[in-house]
Chains A and B, each alone.
Chain A
C-alpha cells in the first residue's frame, strides 16, 4: 500500500467496517480490522476510523479484541472524548471469567495514557491486585506504576503502596519483581523502595525462582542495602556466590556490581570476587554475538578492571586477538585491552599481532593499531619504534599519517626516542596527505629542527604551497614551525619566514592565521630573547624515562559505573586523536558527551569545526583548531598530561 492515497484507503476501510454483512461475519470483520492495522503501521493516518473501531471492540472474539486494542492504544491520545466509550467495554472485560481477557483489558486500560480516564481505572486496578490469576496481578501491579507516571504529581494512595509492599510476598515471582519495579517508580521522590533487612532476605531467598530479567532487577535494587554486620554481609555474599558465575552474562554482571557495592569497605573481598568472575567475563568476550562481546570488552577496558588487577587477564591475552571478520569497533576495543595487558613475557607476541593489524583494510582500525603500538612504546620504546619505522616504508597515506602522529605523541613522553624519530621522518612528507598528519610532521620539524637536516627544505615545500593550503590547522602550525626553525637555524630559514609572514599578513583571507602572523611579526620586533621565551617555553621534560609498571587504581573508582552505560559511552574518547593538534595542546579533557547531537533532529549531522568556517576575532580564536579555550598567561609546565594549553603572551 502506498504512503499516498491514504484518504481513499481510509474511506474504503470505513465503508467495510460499517457494512453489516461484514460485521456479522467474524472472519471478514477480523480481516478488515487487520487491514486497518496494516495501514496504520505503514504510516497512513487512520485516526478517522476511531469511532468505528471503538464499536468493533465490543466482541467476544479475543483475536479481534487484541487487534482493536493495538489500534486504540496508538490513537487514544488524539481522541480523548471518544476514548471514554471504550472504557465501559474495558471495565466489563475486567470482570470476565477468562483471566487472559481480564489481564488484556487491564493492560490496555493503562496503556491508553489518558489522564482524563484515571478515575475509571483506579477501581479495576485495585481489584486486579487481589485477582486470583497471577497474570492479572502482574499487569495490575505495573498498572499502578503507569498511572503514577502519567500524573507524577498526584499522590498515590498509601493503602495501595502498602498493598504493593505486601505483594512482594506473592507466590508468583514475576508479580514480586513487578512490585519492586512499580514501587521504585512510584516512590522515586523518596529515593525508591525502602530496602530493609527482612525485604532483602526475602528477595535473596527467592532470587532463584525468578527469571533472568527479574534477577537483574532484584540485584540492582539490592545495591542500596547496607548489611548491619559483617556476618550478615558474608551470609549474603555466600548466597550470591552461585549467581556470580552464572552462565547468563547479565546476571553475572549484575551480581558483580552488587558484590562491589556491598564490599566497598573490603577491597580484599572485591578482588576475590573479580578473580572469580574471570572465567565468565572471558567467556563473554568470546561470545558468539558481537554486541555482547563489545559490551564485555568495554567493561574490561574502560572500567579499569585491568588497572586495578593487572594480573587478572594477563595469561589470557591471546583471547583478545582479533579475528579477521570482526567489526571494526570490536577490533579497536580489543587493541585497547591488549595495550593494557602488555608485559615483559608477551610483548614480542603482542607487537607481532598488532603489527598485523596495522595493514587492516579499515583505515580506522589500522590507525588504532598504530596508536596502540605507540602506547606500548611508552614502556618498550625501542621495539615499537622499529615497527613504526618499518611501517613508514609501506608509503601508504593513512598509515604514514598515523605513524607520524603516533611518533609525535611518543616523543613528547619519551624524549629519548627523538633521534630515531628524526631519522625516520626524512621523506615522509611525500606520502602525507591529510591535515592531521601534516600538522604532526610540522610540529616534529619545529621542535627537533636542529636534528633533522632536511627540515628547511621540507618546510620550503610547504611554504611554497601555502596559497593552495585549505586546512587552517596546517597553516597555523606552519607559522609556528617556521618561527621555531628560524630560532635554531636562522640562516637557512630567514628568507622563507619572510615570505610566509608576508603572505599571511598581506594575502591570507583567514583572520585567525593573519592575526597569528601579525603576532609573530611583532614578537620578532621585541627581540630574539622574548621570542625564544615564548616559542620555546614549553618542552617536554628530558628526564622522562620509560614507564615501568602502572600504579594500580582502587576498585572503588569505577565500581559505581560498572554494569551501566558509562563504560560504553566513554569508549570512543581515547582512540579519537583526530581532533588535536600538537602535544602541548593535549588537554586530556574527555569529550563532554559523545552524543551525535543534542536534539533528536532528523537532519544529517554535520560536524564542522567552528574554526573552519566562522569568523571570530583573533583573541577568541587562537588555536580554535583544537577547540581549546585561550590562556593568555603561560602556565607552568607539568608532567606529562598537563592541563595547561597555549604559550602566548599578551601583545
Chain B
C-alpha cells in the first residue's frame, strides 16, 4: 500500500504529488525534501524513516521519485513498483527528465490514477494502459474501440489488442548485453558477470504464436549432442549456462518450467522479451594490464596495455579507457600507439579514446605524470582503471537459434516473416584495479 507518490527535481521542487491515502499529510512532501534532498551529507539509504513514515526513493538522472507509506510494507515490492513506474513513463515520453516531466504532467497524473488505486498497484503494463490513457492524441472513442476495452479488460491477453494488421510481417531481435568485470592488478578475475536483455520489435499481424530458441545449456543437453554439432565447431562454445532469467509477462512460464521452451504471443511494437544473467565462461572482450611505478615523490609512470580478445574479423567500437590520476597532478605526458589520449584535469583522469579496434590486437599507452609535492601525507587511493566499449557479439556467448512464428488464423507462415537479429555487447562496470 503506497500512500503517496512524489516527484521532485534536483532542487527539491515538487513536480508531481499524488496522495492516495489519508494517512499521508501534505507536510510529508516537505519532510522528504528537507531531510533527504537538502540534507548536507550524502544519501545514507534509499529508505528513510521520518516520523514513522517511510520514504522510498529512486533517482533517475536528476529527478527524485519517492513513494511514501505509513505501513510496514514489502520494500522489494515498492522499489520494483517505482522501477515499473519509470518504465511506463519512459515508454510514454522517453527519458525521465525535469523538462519531460513538466511537459507531460497531465499524462503523469493520468498514469498515476490508472496504475495505482487507493495505493494498490492495478495495471502496470504499458500496452494495456494505452487504451485507458487519453493524453497524446487519443480522442474520444468510437464504438469499436469501446468493445476493445471490454475484451481487453476481461480477456486473458492484456498486452496485445486484436485486429493488428501489417503489410510486411517483420521482427527485429536485439541481444543487448553489458559485461561487468572487476579484475585484480595481477589479472585475476575477482568478479565478472553479464546481464543481458533480449529486446524485440515485432510488426506481426493477428495473434501470432512465437517460439524463441537459444543455446541454453539445459535445452541443448536435453536434445543430445547431435543437434548442436554443426554450428558448435566455429564458436568454440556450444551452449551457455544461464544463472537466472526473467521474462515479459507474455511468456508462458509453465511451459518454460516444464520444457524450458520460450513460447509467447508478443505485444505489438517494442518490448523486452527477457532479461538474463550469466556468470560462467564469459568472454571478456578486453584485458587491461596496468603498470604503475612511482618514481620518487613527484613523478608517476603509468603504462596500460589493452588486449582485445575476440575474433580478428570483428571490430570493437567506442573504446574508452579512463586512467585515474592523483589529485596533485601538475602535468602529464602521453604517448599512445593508437587513438587519442587526453588528460582531463577536471575529471582527474587520462581519457584514452580509440574509435575502432579489431580482435586479437593489442595497444598501449604510456604516461608520465608529474606531481606537485604536497605535505599532505594522504596516500592516493588508486581508483581502478575503467573501460567502455561496444562489441558486435554477445560476451555471454548467447546465440539465438531460432524464432518461429505461427499464426493459424491469418495466411502467412513462418517463412514469410522477415527476421533480423543483432548482438551488441557493451561494457557495464568494467574495472581493473591498479
A interface, CB within 8 angstroms of B: 34, 37-38, 41, 43, 60-63, 66-67, 70, 97-100, 107, 113, 132-135, 138-139, 142, 145-146, 149-150, 171-172, 174, 177-178, 181, 208, 211-213, 216-217, 220, 242, 247-250, 253-254, 279-280, 283-284, 286, 288-292, 294-296, 298, 318-319, 321, 323-325, 327-329, 356, 359-362, 394-396, 563-566, 568-569, 571-572, 593-605
Cα distance A217–B2 in the bound complex, in angstroms: 13
- Chain A residues lying within 8 Å of B49, measured Cβ to Cβ, are 569, 593-596
Tell me which residues from 34 to 66 in chain B have a Cβ below 8 Å from any Cβ of chain A. 34-35, 38, 42-54, 56, 58
Find the A residue at minimum CB distance from B428: A288
Find the A residue at minimum CB distance from B15: A41
Question: Which among B81, B182, B247 is the interface contact of A323 at CB below 8 angstroms?
Answer: B182
* Cβ–Cβ contact B134 & A66, under 8 A: yes
* Cβ–Cβ contact A41 & B83, under 8 A: no
- Chain A residues lying within 8 Å of B58, measured Cβ to Cβ, are 289, 291
- Chain B residues lying within 8 Å of A212, measured Cβ to Cβ, are 80
* Cβ–Cβ contact B21 & A34, under 8 A: no
- Chain A residues lying within 8 Å of B17, measured Cβ to Cβ, are 41
- Chain B residues lying within 8 Å of A172, measured Cβ to Cβ, are 153-154
B360 at the interface (CB under 8 A from A): no
Shortest CB-to-CB span from A582 to chain B, Å, is 26
Question: Which among A284, A321, A566 is the interface contact of B72 at CB below 8 angstroms?
Answer: A566
Find the B residue at minimum CB distance from A132: B150
Pairs A–B under 8 Å by Cβ, sample size 8: A37-B106, A133-B149, A181-B120, A213-B121, A250-B74, A279-B244, A572-B45, A605-B35
Find the B residue at minimum CB distance from A561: B72
* Cβ–Cβ contact A328 & B42, under 8 A: yes
Question: Which among B14, B21, B31, B105 is the interface contact of A38 at CB below 8 angstroms?
Answer: B105
- Chain A residues lying within 8 Å of B72, measured Cβ to Cβ, are 564-566
Question: Which among B21, B139, B431 is the interface contact of A324 at CB below 8 angstroms?
Answer: B431
Given A135-B149, A286-B193, A329-B46, answer yes or no on A595-B52 (Cβ-Cβ < 8 Å): yes
Question: Which among A41, A286, A328, A600 is the interface contact of B50 at CB below 8 angstroms?
Answer: A600
Shortest CB-to-CB span from A577 to chain B, Å, is 15
Find the A residue at minimum CB distance from B118: A142
B329 at the interface (CB under 8 A from A): no
* Cβ–Cβ contact A174 & B149, under 8 A: no
- Nearest first, the 9 A-B pairs at minimum CB distance are A247-B246, A213-B121, A250-B77, A600-B31, A250-B76, A602-B30, A291-B46, A600-B27, A63-B134
Cα distance A211–B389 in the bound complex, in angstroms: 37
Shortest CB-to-CB span from B44 to chain A, Å, is 6
B249 at the interface (CB under 8 A from A): yes
B332 at the interface (CB under 8 A from A): no
Shortest CB-to-CB span from B326 to chain A, Å, is 12
DSSP majority for the B interface? mixed
Find the B residue at minimum CB distance from A362: B42
Find the A residue at minimum CB distance from B243: A283
The tally of residues in B whose CB lies under 8 Å from a CB in A reads 93
Cα distance A371–B144 in the bound complex, in angstroms: 67
* Cβ–Cβ contact B140 & A133, under 8 A: no
Shortest CB-to-CB span from B47 to chain A, Å, is 5
* Cβ–Cβ contact A600 & B182, under 8 A: no
Using A134-B153, A172-B154, A295-B79 as known contacts, list a sample of 16 further A-B pairs with CB atoms less than 8 Å apart, ordered by residue number in A: A41-B105, A70-B106, A100-B132, A135-B153, A149-B22, A181-B1, A247-B247, A249-B76, A250-B74, A279-B244, A283-B244, A323-B431, A600-B27, A602-B33, A603-B34, A604-B38
Shortest CB-to-CB span from A30 to chain B, Å, is 10
Cα distance A150–B76 in the bound complex, in angstroms: 29
Find the A residue at minimum CB distance from B189: A318
Contact with A along B100-143 (1 / 0, CB 8 A): 00000110011001000110111111000001101100011100
* Cβ–Cβ contact A213 & B431, under 8 A: no
* Cβ–Cβ contact B51 & A290, under 8 A: no
- Chain A residues lying within 8 Å of B386, measured Cβ to Cβ, are 324
Shortest CB-to-CB span from B230 to chain A, Å, is 31
B190 at the interface (CB under 8 A from A): yes
* Cβ–Cβ contact A62 & B134, under 8 A: yes
Contact with A along B370-414 (1 / 0, CB 8 A): 000000011101011010000000000000000000000000000
- Chain A residues lying within 8 Å of B384, measured Cβ to Cβ, are 324
Find the A residue at minimum CB distance from B131: A100
B205 at the interface (CB under 8 A from A): no
Cα distance A101–B386 in the bound complex, in angstroms: 54
Find the B residue at minimum CB distance from A139: B117
Shortest CB-to-CB span from B411 to chain A, Å, is 32
- Chain B residues lying within 8 Å of A213, measured Cβ to Cβ, are 77, 81, 120-121, 124
Cα distance A135–B149 in the bound complex, in angstroms: 9
Given A294-B45, A327-B43, A565-B72, answer yes or no on A138-B106 (Cβ-Cβ < 8 Å): no
- Chain A residues lying within 8 Å of B99, measured Cβ to Cβ, are none
- Chain A residues lying within 8 Å of B16, measured Cβ to Cβ, are 41
Residue among B30, B35, B77, B275 facing the most chain A CB atoms (10 A cut-off): B77
B305 at the interface (CB under 8 A from A): no
Cα distance A502–B243 in the bound complex, in angstroms: 71
B346 at the interface (CB under 8 A from A): no
Shortest CB-to-CB span from A590 to chain B, Å, is 14
* Cβ–Cβ contact B117 & A142, under 8 A: yes
- Chain B residues lying within 8 Å of A283, measured Cβ to Cβ, are 243-244, 277
* Cβ–Cβ contact A600 & B53, under 8 A: yes
Cα distance A177–B149 in the bound complex, in angstroms: 20
B164 at the interface (CB under 8 A from A): no
Tell me which residues from 324 to 372 in chain B have a Cβ below 8 Å from any Cβ of chain A. none
* Cβ–Cβ contact B46 & A601, under 8 A: no
- Chain B residues lying within 8 Å of A564, measured Cβ to Cβ, are 72-75
Question: Which among B140, B149, B246, B247 is the interface contact of A99 at CB below 8 angstroms?
Answer: B149
Cα distance A239–B15 in the bound complex, in angstroms: 45
- Chain A residues lying within 8 Å of B33, measured Cβ to Cβ, are 602
* Cβ–Cβ contact A253 & B74, under 8 A: yes
Shortest CB-to-CB span from A275 to chain B, Å, is 16
Given A149-B21, A149-B22, answer yes or no on A98-B141 (Cβ-Cβ < 8 Å): yes
* Cβ–Cβ contact A325 & B429, under 8 A: yes
* Cβ–Cβ contact B190 & A321, under 8 A: yes
Given A289-B83, A318-B190, answer yes or no on A113-B22 (Cβ-Cβ < 8 Å): yes
- Chain A residues lying within 8 Å of B28, measured Cβ to Cβ, are 600
Cα distance A320–B319 in the bound complex, in angstroms: 28
* Cβ–Cβ contact B135 & A63, under 8 A: yes
* Cβ–Cβ contact B51 & A597, under 8 A: yes
- Chain B residues lying within 8 Å of A250, measured Cβ to Cβ, are 74, 76-77, 80
Question: Which among A133, A216, A324, A395 is the interface contact of B383 at CB below 8 angstroms?
Answer: A324
* Cβ–Cβ contact B254 & A208, under 8 A: yes
* Cβ–Cβ contact A279 & B243, under 8 A: yes
Residue among A67, A213, A325 facing the most chain B CB atoms (10 A cut-off): A213
- Chain A residues lying within 8 Å of B118, measured Cβ to Cβ, are 142, 145-146, 149, 181
Question: Which among B51, B79, B140, B378 is the interface contact of A598 at CB below 8 angstroms?
Answer: B51
Given A324-B384, A324-B431, A572-B44, answer yes or no on A253-B249 (Cβ-Cβ < 8 Å): no
* Cβ–Cβ contact A248 & B246, under 8 A: yes
Shortest CB-to-CB span from A517 to chain B, Å, is 36
Question: Which among A63, A138, A360 is the interface contact of B122 at CB below 8 angstroms?
Answer: A138
Given A596-B35, A600-B31, answer yes or no on A292-B383 (Cβ-Cβ < 8 Å): no
- Chain A residues lying within 8 Å of B109, measured Cβ to Cβ, are 37, 70
Cα distance A643–B238 in the bound complex, in angstroms: 61
Find the B residue at minimum CB distance from A568: B47
Shortest CB-to-CB span from B71 to chain A, Å, is 9
- Chain B residues lying within 8 Å of A97, measured Cβ to Cβ, are 146
* Cβ–Cβ contact B139 & A63, under 8 A: yes
- Chain A residues lying within 8 Å of B275, measured Cβ to Cβ, are 247
Question: Which among B43, B45, B125, B244 is the interface contact of A568 at CB below 8 angstroms?
Answer: B45
- Chain B residues lying within 8 Å of A37, measured Cβ to Cβ, are 105-106, 109
* Cβ–Cβ contact A216 & B74, under 8 A: yes
- Chain A residues lying within 8 Å of B45, measured Cβ to Cβ, are 294, 329, 568, 571-572
